[in-house]
Amino acid sequence: MQFWIIQGLNSLSLGGLLFLLSSGFSLIFGLMRLANLTHGAFFMLGTYFAAITMREYSGLNIWVTALGAGLAVAAIGGLFERLVLTRLKTNPLGQVLVTLGMSFIISDACLVLWGGDSIPVPTPHNLQAPTRMFGFVFPTYRLVLVGCAIATAVALYFLMERTRLGAMIRAGVDDRQMARAVGIPVSNLFTIVFCLGAGIAGAGGVLGGPILSAYPGLDADMLPLALIVVILGGIGSLLGAFIGSFIIGFIYTFGTALFPELAYIILFLPMIVVIAFRPQGLFGRVGA
């Protein structure tokens, strides 16, 4: 019984982490039709940001760090989008390739700057004490992570459904040319969305830090996870990213607990099954 509850909670926290990682990816893909292969690197930048700054200033608040990292990574993303991606509007394949190239540059830069060893990110003091529930203990921070994911999901929902910016984004996702025709500044929107996506990834990297630690190769570990969640949940659907994150969280956690050697296959199996029966993903639109 205890096994199931612990694994269940682990699943939730993994799902939360995955949503923080993949929501930005889904946003960018949905509006810009761009598979942002730099996304894992953006996430990793956030983790390194947290690891380095919190090593220097031990009293630093993780929430402030997340905000700082989010803004910094958003700025980097914005520069990249403006200087490189906009030049490749007519070359969607080229866009994907430069995001790949950028991910190599960032990951090697991290290696050069901060070395090959894994750098931990400390769990915030007030969340270090474990929570007692149902007669056993569970790391509090992991539960908090779920809360962060839900908060992000709610914030994004409000942004997309209740603000003018969100309405413009949704119009752009549905029909880019029509949106342009009615005067929506699509290219500025692209930059905003790219910054937003990158920023969420950066902030997510900070929040995931206490669990993952900053290490070279984190980006390569994270990117496929974002891909799987978005392919499974459906391109351009935040709801799909949310549900997909938790589905993957559950399947992966229980799968690795029960069959540790087959971890990677278990991770990809739901995606493969969904694609076989529904190529547009669980919540995606046909022809996306």
Partner 1 sequence: MKWIASALLAAFLLLLPLFAGDFYINLASQILIAAIFALSLNLLVGFGGMTSLGHASYLGVAAYLSALLASRYGFGHGMAAIISITGTVATAAFFGVIALRATGLGFLMITLALSQVLWGLAYRMSNVTNGDNGIAGLTRPMPFGILLDSAAAFYWFALIVACFAFLMMAIFVSSSFGSSLKGVRDQPRRMAALGFNPWMIRWITFVYAGFWGGISGLLYVYYNKYIHPTSLSTTSSAEALLSVIAGGSGTLGGPVVGATLVLLLKNYASAYIERWNMLLGLVFLFIVLVMPTGIVPGLAKLTARFRKGSQ
Question: Where on the chain is the footprint of partner 1 (CB under 8 A)?
Answer: 29, 33-35, 37, 84, 87-88, 91-94, 96-98, 100-105, 107-109, 111-112, 220, 224, 227-228, 230-231, 235, 261, 263-265, 267-268, 271-272, 275-276, 279, 288
The residue (of 96 and 159) whose beta carbon lies closer to partner 1 is: 96
Output the six-digit token pair for 168.
């413009």
**Of 63, 99, 30, 29, residue with least CA distance to 204:** 63
The residue (of 249 and 281) whose beta carbon lies closer to partner 1 is: 281
Query: Please, what is the minimum distance in Å from the beta carbon of residue 239 to partner 1?
Result: 19
The residue (of 181 and 220) whose beta carbon lies closer to partner 1 is: 220
The residue (of 80 and 141) whose beta carbon lies closer to partner 1 is: 80
The residue (of 105 and 184) whose beta carbon lies closer to partner 1 is: 105
Output the six-digit token pair for 112.
């050069």
- The b-or-e profile of 149-186 (16+ CB within 10 A means b, else e) is beebbeebeeebeeeeeeebbebbbeebeebeeeebeb
3-state secondary structure of 207: helix
**Of 165, 173, 232, 169, residue with least CA distance to 33:** 173
Quote the crossing angle between the two packed helices 2-32 and 140-162, to the nearest 10°: 30
Q: Where are the beta strands (DSSP E) in the chain?
A: 131-133, 136-138
The residue (of 123 and 245) whose beta carbon lies closer to partner 1 is: 245
Query: Please, what is the minimum distance in Å from the beta carbon of residue 133 to partner 1?
Result: 32
Residue 120: count of CB within 10 angstroms of its CB:
15
**Contact criterion met (CB below 8 Å) for 17 and 211:** yes
The residue (of 8 and 115) whose beta carbon lies closer to partner 1 is: 115
Output the six-digit token pair for 26.
């889904």
**Contact criterion met (CB below 8 Å) for 281 and 232:** yes
Distance CA 81, CA 83 (A): 6
**Contact criterion met (CB below 8 Å) for 15 and 150:** no
Query: Please, what is the minimum distance in Å from the beta carbon of residue 160 to partner 1?
Result: 22
User: Can you name the residues that pair with 137 across neighbouring β-strands?
Assistant: 132
